[in-house]
Amino acid sequence: MPEPTRHGATAGTPTTTHWGRYRVHVRDGEITGLAPAPGDGEPSPIGRSLVDGRVAPARIREPMVRTGYLEHGPRHRNNNRGDDTFTPVPWEHALDLVAHQLRRVYDEHGPAAVYGGSYGWASAGRFHHAQSQVHRFLNLAGGYTGSTGTYSYHAMQRIVPHVVGIDAERLMLELPSWEQVAEHAELVVAFGGLAPKNSQVSPGGVHRHSASEGREHCRAAGVRFVNVGPCRDDLPDADEWIAPRPHTDVALMLALCTQIVDTGRHDRRFLAECCTGFDRLHAYLAGREDGVRKDPAWAAEICAIPAETIVRLAEEIAARRTLITMSWSMQRAQHGEQPCWALIALAAIAGQLGHPGRGAGLGFGTHHSTGLAGLRHPVAALPQRADRAPAFPAIPVARIADLLLSPGAEIDYDGSRVTFPDIRLVYWCGGNPFHHHQDLNRLTTAWQVPETVVVQEPFWTATARHADIVLPTTVTLERNDFAHGRFESALSAMHRAVDPPTGVRHDYEIFAALAGRLGFDDAFTEGRTADDWVRHLYEETRTRLAEAGAAIPDFAAFWRAGETVLTDDPAARRPAGALELLRRDPVAHPLPTPSGRVELFSETVDGFGYADCPGHPTWLEPAEWLGGEGARRHPLHLVSNQPATRLHSQLDHGAVSREGKVAGREPVALHPDDADRRGIADGDVVRVFNDRGSCLAGARVTAEVRRGVVVLATGAWYDPVAPGGLDRHGNPNVLTADRRTSALAQGPASGTALVEVEAWSGPAPGVASFRPPELAGRRR
């Protein structure tokens, strides 16, 4: 690997994260500071946590094995993960142990008994991408059971193809840029807001943060913003804040549709030529199916907002050029498919769908790349070698606890049936299921079922603490790589700033050593070191770009410079999307749906016969909401959104996340009226609870949240006083329900949760999640 060019003592070593580019300052082999890369006017503060987080007490510095596992070996359904000590072991012993268990499970139970768990946010790098590493290894080992979908927007992933014929990822790639919104729109109605904290981050990294510039550009053009959601700060500079009860947005959307149709403002031509099923949807809106008109008065009672507000918003949407957006959080709820479908229907009925800069912005504002005007470039990544393994049915990602608890059970899934295999070994590399899964007490029970759990991880997260074998891995600042964010106009070098601690290895080195023990090291490494792979993937990218007509420098020049800017032809940016082409000429450009049109009613979905996902957008009362019976006992709706001080649970132990804590715990925001009613003051330690679990948090009293709502961000490292007991740190997923969105998507429904909050009396137990677990013979 060529040495990076040093541009003087103040330049620093370049690196890239999912939340931006930085320059790392090093002296005598130690990191002394970190600064945003030049040219980034809105840098994310999260980067500061890289400095202290890397060397914090939570760092794992040698292989560890759960003491009980060392003593009795693998057990099925009778383990005490999360409530045991650990024993340090030499690397060779740990690798031999992992290789032996893999070989035994493959021989005795077959590859379907191995679950390959990962999530894609571990690194922004194209090579040191944990998900690609573990999947490549397990595919070459003989195959594995994997997951499909994402915790972020699984309901959207499954319903969108039925409605518009293209997948959700492509639909988001066709979202308008901020420039297009400023040029073509007059109104943005943002269901779930456009939270500035979310635009800190983008898959693969942010080259230069520009989301606030985009919003300012729209404002200068006279675009009006309406924030529809429970949190004012999800769009803090909105011209209007409408705060319906959480989980009632579908009722609001349907009433907007009814009002527009009743006043004759609907787009008859588009509905006739480019859509199918409007007659069926209209019959439902008019009450001909169930005797209930879905008008503003009906929705006002459900949403607890004035009917006049709904009427006025409908008139404004129909009269002005409008972009209607929806955050991913909206569909992470029971019946989460419905807001996606209803939003598309609303945009179609209002005459907005298929126009540049307007229409249905599903996922707009959920991360930095939505709103960028760049192209998707053909950047290479590590091949996962799925061609070398037998194919097994993938499990919907949010059904992992069901998978472990109920082998052999069958579930419905998007018109098919999926059977859960009997998982004997879980291999996790990248990601933290004890962060993103719901009902952590249930997950803890499920986690005791497999015979062996192997985790590769730099820090003592809850996932590492619930493992049998823990293999310590490097972090971004300790390895070479390169990054490219979605729609970004540059490739960014990620130079190793410092050496890893003694005893810590790259994921790639670990898998290569295991592949050697299992007899396929040549296939896994292809004769390349980690740095060889970085160079190879860059040069492959260079070849692909050259074939597309774009020239970039060779690897040595790129590495010295620290980045290379990709010059896009402005005329080639963001070609017309499928919906825009449909509106132009529905005969020449049909959608790949059964009808060739937008399906406001889907014969396919209707034919599945799912009671919780009918054939058209429908208001379905959730199991938990402020208008239901459950609110008598638990009268507050829990919003468990993305944090501002970290990415998911990454670097929760770092300085930036810790500075945001209240009384050393995750802050929970509640309205002053709700706080006064419970005798809670700002800064108090409080207990948040329901029948599923309870946690402690630090009260933040603010009028920025709707009455009847509490906001507790995800990502606080799970820290129970005992397995299944009180969480000391404020992880909301001890409170959320492990229920499906519907039989269609089987997605996570974290947004459907009611809680109560009370002031904590007496001394509060200390938070222990940032300390290492006890080692055998060294009990504290």
Task: List Cβ neighbours of 438 (8 Å cut-off, separation of 6 or more).
Answer: 398, 733, 736, 737, 738, 739, 748, 749, 750
How far, in Å, CA of 694 to CA of 703, rounded? 24
Asked whether 717 and 658 are in contact (CB, 8 A), the reply is no
For tokens 């573990």, what's the residue?
Answer: 134
Active-site annotation holder among 69, 119, 619, 718: 119
Active site residue 19: no
Cα-Cα-Cα-Cα dihedral of 725, 727, 732, 734, to 10°? -10
For residue 492, CA distances in Å to 132, 477, 559, 767 come to 19, 14, 9, 38
How far, in Å, CA of 298 to CA of 755, rounded? 26
DSSP state of 3: P
For residue 746, CA distances in Å to 362, 398, 732 come to 19, 7, 21
Max CA separation in the chain (angstroms)? 77
For residue 222, CA distances in Å to 186, 371, 618 come to 7, 18, 34
Tokens of 274: 């480019």
How far, in Å, CA of 610 to CA of 45, rounded? 45
How far, in Å, CA of 358 to CA of 342, rounded? 16
Tokens of 604: 């396919």
CB atoms within 10 A of CB 385: 16
How far, in Å, CA of 441 to CA of 446, rounded? 9
> To 10 degrees, what angle do helices 507-518 and 91-109 make?
60
For tokens 């600064």, what's the residue?
Answer: 35
Provide the residue count of the chain.
780
Closest CA to 305 of 367, 360, 232, 230: 230
Active-site annotation holder among 121, 151, 413, 508: 121
Asked whether 171 and 343 are in contact (CB, 8 A), the reply is no
DSSP state of 734: G
How far, in Å, CA of 344 to CA of 355, rounded? 13
Active site residue 718: no
Beta strand ranges found along 485-642 (DSSP E): 490-494, 563-565, 598-599, 636-639
* Helix, strand, coil percent values for the chain (each to nearest 5): 35, 20, 50
Asked whether 464 and 457 are in contact (CB, 8 A), the reply is yes
Reported as type and span, the H/E element at residue 482 is: strand 481-483
Number of H helices, E strands in the chain: 26, 29
How far, in Å, CA of 483 to CA of 493, rounded? 7
DSSP state of 722: S
What is the Cα gyration radius of the chain? 26
Closest CA to 241 of 259, 258, 228: 228
Catalytic residues: 119, 121
